[in-house]
Amino acid sequence: MQEKEVYNDQVEGRNSVLELLESKKAINKIFITKGEKHGSIFKIIAKAKENKVMIVEKEKRKMDEMAQTANYQGVIAIVPPFEYCEISDIIQEAKNKEEDPFVLILDEIEDPHNLGSIIRTAETAGVHGIIIPKRRAANVNSTVSKVSAGAVQYMKIARVTNLSDAIEQLKKEGIWICGTDVNTQKYYYEQDLTGPIGVIIGNEGKGIGQKIKNNCDFLVKIPMKGKISSLNASVSTGIILYEIVKQRN
């Protein structure tokens, strides 16, 4: 029996692969389902030729075996491992844009779908970079890339050993740290969120760890009017980030 070909670092789906090609990041090769030459596939092929990226056609059965997501839309790009950055690169990104630093810190977000959605929201909100822990958390893979709709190609992401140390580093740069906690008194829209800021979003079930919570300059909560006492992590992220966008504008 022939062994299944496995690629750990791949980007799947037409929009995600197009965004990857537009970003000019390195691509080893692009696989396309044989006979799948219609719609945006033509654009992918043209862009790949322009970027001098090899295209390989494969039978649908082989493509199905290779795919890491259910709906890969007939196209899979094989890429070098995701290039994480340093926290200093995120700070520099804000300086380059002549903006107050706007950083997102994720405390043990384990679901890659949540991580992908959060990256997409953060990119549209103008976040300069995201910090994630190396342990007990989702990392950037093909699912994250696809769910982010290609936003991962434009977002600086630092992967750190210790979140508390990362927070201290941000504080030394004059960044205020805002945590989210259902048990605090102040609603997010009552807090001044202008200026250099880092927002911490906690784990899908446990929220922010106590040690991380103690490191926050202030805590905010989102009003809960229904019987469910918590929101999906990516939804919470969107609410808080866009309050910051609103206040900055």
Q: State the DSSP string of 223-236.
A: ---SS-----HHHH
Yes or no: domain 10-78 corresponds to CATH 3.30.1330.30: yes
CATH of domain 87-248: 3.40.1280.10
Q: Please give the sequence-ordered ranges of beta strands (E in DSSP) within the chain, or none if there are none.
A: 10-12, 29-33, 54-58, 75-78, 102-106, 129-133, 157-160, 176-180, 197-201, 218-220
What per-residue confidence (pLDDT) applies to 1? 34
Sign of CA dihedral 68, 69, 70, 71: negative
Dihedral Cα 204, 209, 214, 219, nearest 10 deg = 10
Answer yes or no: is pLDDT of 3 > 60: no
C-alpha distances (whole Å) from 141 to each of 65, 69, 138 are 17, 11, 8
- Nearest C-alpha neighbor of 137 from the set 104, 168, 115, 166: 115
Task: Indicate if the pLDDT at residue 4 is higher than 70.
Answer: no
Q: Phi first, then psi: what are they for 160, rounded to 5°?
A: -120, 155
Convert the pLDDT of each residue in 50-62 to its tens digit. Answer: 999 999 999 999 9
Going edge to edge, which strands form the sheet with 75-78? 10-12, 75-78, 29-33, 54-58
Burial of residue 239 (CB within 10 Å: 0-12, 13-18, 19+) is middle
Q: What would the mean pLDDT of 214-241 be, rounded to a whole number?
A: 88
Task: Evaluate if residue 78 carries a pLDDT over 50.
Answer: yes
Rounded to two decimals, the pTM is: 0.79
**β pairing state of 75-78 and 29-33:** antiparallel
Domain ranges, ordered by start, for the chain:
10-78, 87-248
Question: What pLDDT is recorded for position 191?
Answer: 96
Cα–Cα distance for residue pair 15/146, rounded to 1 Å: 8
Nearest-angstrom CA–CA distance, 201 and 23: 28
Hey, what's the torsion of the CAs at 220, 224, 227, 232, to 10 degrees?
-70
| Cβ contacts of 210 within 8 Å, gap of 6 or more | none
- Average pLDDT for the chain: 90
pLDDT band at 8 (very low <50, low <70, confident <90, very high): low
